[in-house]
Structure 1
Amino acid sequence: MPAPLPVDWLKRLGINDILGVKVEDWDYIYTGIYCDEMARSGLSGPGGSLNAGFAFGISPIVKFGSRQLQEKFLPDLLTGKKRGCIAITEPEAGSDVANITTTAVKSADGQHYIVNGTKKWITNGIWSDYTTMAVRTGGPGAAGLSVLVVPLKNHPGVTMRRLKVSGQVTGGTTYIELDDVKVPVSNIVGREGDGMRIIMTNFNHERLVIAIGATRQARVALSAAFSYCLKREAFGKTLMDQPVVRHRLAKAGAELETMWAWVEQILYQLTHLSKEEGDRQLGGLTALAKAKSGMVLNECAQTAVLLFGGNGFTKTGQGELVEAILRDVPGIRIPGGSEDVLLDLSVRQLVKVYQAEEKKLSQSSKI
Structure 2
Amino acid sequence: MSSKSFPIPFSEPPYLSGLPSPYYKPTHLTFQKKCRAFLEEHFLPNALEWERIETVPDHAYDTFVKANMILPNLPAPLPVDWLKRLEIYDIMGVKVEEWDYTHTGIYIDEMARSGLAGPGSSMTAGMAFGVPPVIKFGSKELHERFLPDALTGKTKWCIAITEPDAGSDVANISTTAVKSKDEKHYIINGTKKWITNGFWADYAAMAVRTGKTGSGAAGLSMVVCPLKGYKGVNMRRLKVGGQVTGGTTFIELDDVQIPVENLIGSEGMGMRYIMTNFNHERLTIAVGVTRQARVALSTAVEYCLKREAFGKPLMDQPVVRHRLAKAGAELETMQAWSDQFVYQMTHLPKAEADIKLGGLTALAKAKAGMVFATCAETAILLFGGNGYTRSGQGELIEKIYREVPGSRIPGGSEDILLDLAVRQLVKNYRSAIKTMERPSGDSKL
Aligning the two structures, in what range does the TM-score lie when normalised by the shorter sequence? over 0.9
Task: Among all aligned residue pairs of Structure 1 and Structure 2, give the percentage whose two residues are the same amino acid.
Answer: 73
- Determine the C-alpha separation between the residues in 2 that align with 1:363 and 1:226: 57
Residue 377 of structure 2 is aligned to residue 329 of structure 1: no
Partner of 2:332: 257
Partner of 1:122: 195
Partner of 1:11: 84
The one-letter amino acid of 2:176's match is T
Return the TM-score normalized by structure 2: 0.81
Residue 178 of structure 2 is aligned to residue 105 of structure 1: yes
Is the contact made by 1:255 and 1:296 (CA closer than 8 Å) also made in structure 2? yes
Return the TM-score normalized by structure 1: 0.98
Please list, as runs of the form range in 1=range in 2, the aligned pairs for 1:230-269 lying within 5 A after superposition: 230-269=305-344
The one-letter amino acid of 1:21's match is V
Which residue among 78, 81, 86 is the counterpart of 2:159? 86
- Determine the C-alpha separation between the residues in 1 that align with 2:290 and 2:440: 42
- Determine the C-alpha separation between the residues in 1 that align with 2:153 and 2:306: 45
Is the contact made by 1:39 and 1:46 (CA closer than 8 Å) also made in structure 2? no
The one-letter amino acid of 1:267's match is V
Is the contact made by 1:61 and 1:70 (CA closer than 8 Å) also made in structure 2? yes
Residue 95 of structure 2 is aligned to residue 22 of structure 1: yes
How far off its partner does 1:356 sit?
2.0
* Alpha carbons of structure 1 residues 362 and 320: separation in structure 2 relative to 1, 3 Å: same
Partner of 1:178: 253
- Determine the C-alpha separation between the residues in 2 that align with 1:194 and 1:292: 29
The one-letter amino acid of 1:2's match is P
How far off its partner does 1:359 sit?
2.9
- Determine the C-alpha separation between the residues in 1 that align with 2:120 and 2:431: 37
- Determine the C-alpha separation between the residues in 2 that align with 1:119 and 1:83: 17
Is the contact made by 2:160 and 2:195 (CA closer than 8 Å) also made in structure 1? yes
- Determine the C-alpha separation between the residues in 1 that align with 2:337 and 2:430: 24
The one-letter amino acid of 2:164's match is P
The one-letter amino acid of 2:183's match is G
- Determine the C-alpha separation between the residues in 2 that align with 1:364 and 1:350: 24
**SS of the residue 1:245 aligns to:** helix
Which residue among 301, 304, 308 is the counterpart of 2:383? 308
Is the contact made by 1:35 and 1:47 (CA closer than 8 Å) also made in structure 2? no
Is the contact made by 1:103 and 1:137 (CA closer than 8 Å) also made in structure 2? yes
Partner of 1:212: 287
- State the Cα deviation string for residues 46-81 of structure 1 (Å, max 9, x = none): 321111111100000000000000101000001000
The answer for unaligned runs of 5 or more in structure 1 is none
- Determine the C-alpha separation between the residues in 2 that align with 1:359 and 1:274: 23
Could you list the structure 1 runs, at least 4 aligned residues long, displaced by more than 6 angstroms after superposition.
364-367
Partner of 2:128: 55
Q: CA RMSD in A?
A: 1.3
Partner of 1:73: 146
- Determine the C-alpha separation between the residues in 2 that align with 1:131 and 1:339: 25
**SS of the residue 2:245 aligns to:** coil
How far off its partner does 1:364 sit?
8.9
How far off its partner does 1:45 sit?
2.3
- Determine the C-alpha separation between the residues in 2 that align with 1:121 and 1:109: 34
The one-letter amino acid of 2:360's match is L
Is the contact made by 1:221 and 1:301 (CA closer than 8 Å) also made in structure 2? yes
The one-letter amino acid of 1:317's match is G
- Size of the aligned set, in residue pairs, is 367
Is the contact made by 1:214 and 1:293 (CA closer than 8 Å) also made in structure 2? yes
Residue 386 of structure 2 is aligned to residue 298 of structure 1: no
Partner of 1:137: 210
- Determine the C-alpha separation between the residues in 2 that align with 1:32 and 1:15: 21
Is the contact made by 2:119 and 2:243 (CA closer than 8 Å) also made in structure 1? no
